[in-house]
Structure formats: C-alpha cells, structure tokens
Chain A
C-alpha cells in the first residue's frame, strides 16, 4: 500500500505558484520522498526527491517538514503545460530493490 495521502484534485491559476501537499506520517528515517507527474497518456516524469532537507531544481521546489511527516511540492510559476497528475511517493525497500508504490495522486489543473 502507498504510504502517502494527497488531495485528489487541485486548481491553480496560470502564472501563480502551485503548492501540492502530501502526508507521509509513517515514513522511516532512511526513506526518500519522490515526486513524479504524469501528463495524459504519457509515462511518469521525474520531478524531484528529498530525504530531510528542502530541495530545488529547474522544475520545482520540495519542502519537507522537520518531522518528515509531510511535504509540499511547489511549482513556482505554473503554466498550462503543468496540468497533470502529480504523485508523491515514499520510496521503500533496500538497495537494489527500491520500489515506487504509487498512490492515487493529485490531479492538478492549471487554468488560464
């Protein structure tokens, strides 16, 4: 079973920051939080991941709470092309057997 819970859907206006929350209250100390997105009929696209510290790359920022029980993905300036299903995943397993257990994700709609 997925170790994360996300709101099923969210809306955001184009050009604004999109903040997608994720709860992972049972995360273990050595488990990473990963974010992927899936645009309709395409394969999931890797966005970002983190363990304890906040992370930023060219696509997004990841804010992880100090107790690691929740995180927020931030798309700083959302565009229409960011409309997708966003999956927050806790990567489980040991080295060489890492698994991504997908939950239902958040369907993000960017409105003009």
Chain B
C-alpha cells in the first residue's frame, strides 16, 4: 500500500546533540510537510517542500532545518535540541494543494 513512513517511531537525544528525523513516501507526491505537535496541543506546521522549493513558516526557529534529497525522502534536522523541542514530529505529503496524508509520527525525547 502507498504510504508515508517515519523512522524511527521514538527517538531519544541529548540536550544540544544534533538529531535527524526521516520521512519517506511511496505516494510520489510533490509536496512534503513537517509539523510539530507538543503534548496536548494541535499540530503546527514548521515548513514544507514543494518539489525542491523550501517554504519556511515565519515563526519556525532557526534551530529547525530540512532537506529533501529526492521526491521520496525528506529529513528534519534539529541542530541543537532543547528540552522544549520534545514533541511528536509529523510528516505529511500531498500532491500540489490537494489532501495531505500523514505518517505515524516520530516522538522525540530530549534528555
């Protein structure tokens, strides 16, 4: 089945130690999104790629970066994780402006 895959499902990192979360898709969608969801809050868009074009949300901290080496893969890099970055990170894909489909998420714990 076509799907959005996120690995790992759980990631533990140390305060200040760079961490990368990965997302892959078999849907061949041209848009990939990254959302952050903190405990008991709604998901919040961090940025998205439309093909190779990167689009950052105005309030996304510089600590968060992204890479999209090809259509299928997209990475979220957190350069220096703080305790406040502990959250569920959700990847979603869409074709153009159409329906977004979400992966299962990666829960990040910062020690």
> Chain A: residues with CB nearer than 8 A to chain B?
2, 34, 36, 41-46, 49, 87, 91, 93-105
Name the 5 nearest CB pairs between A and B, nearest first: A43-B102, A102-B42, A98-B97, A96-B50, A44-B102
Complex Cα spacing A43 to B96, Å? 20
Q: Which B residues lie at the A interface, using CB under 8 A?
A: 4, 6, 31, 42-45, 48, 50, 55, 88, 90, 92, 94, 96-105, 107
With A87-B42, A96-B31, A102-B42 as contacts: A44 and B96 at CB distance below 8 Å: no
**Which secondary structure dominates where chain A touches chain B?**
loop
In the docked arrangement, what's the CA distance between A100 and B42, Å?
11
A97 touching B50, Cβ below 8 Å: yes
B51 — nearest CB in chain A belongs to which residue? A96
Given contact pairs A43-B105, A95-B97, A97-B50, enumerate 18 new A-B contacts (beta carbons under 8 Å): A41-B88, A41-B105, A44-B43, A44-B90, A44-B92, A45-B102, A46-B100, A46-B101, A91-B97, A97-B48, A97-B55, A98-B94, A98-B97, A98-B98, A102-B42, A102-B43, A102-B44, A103-B42
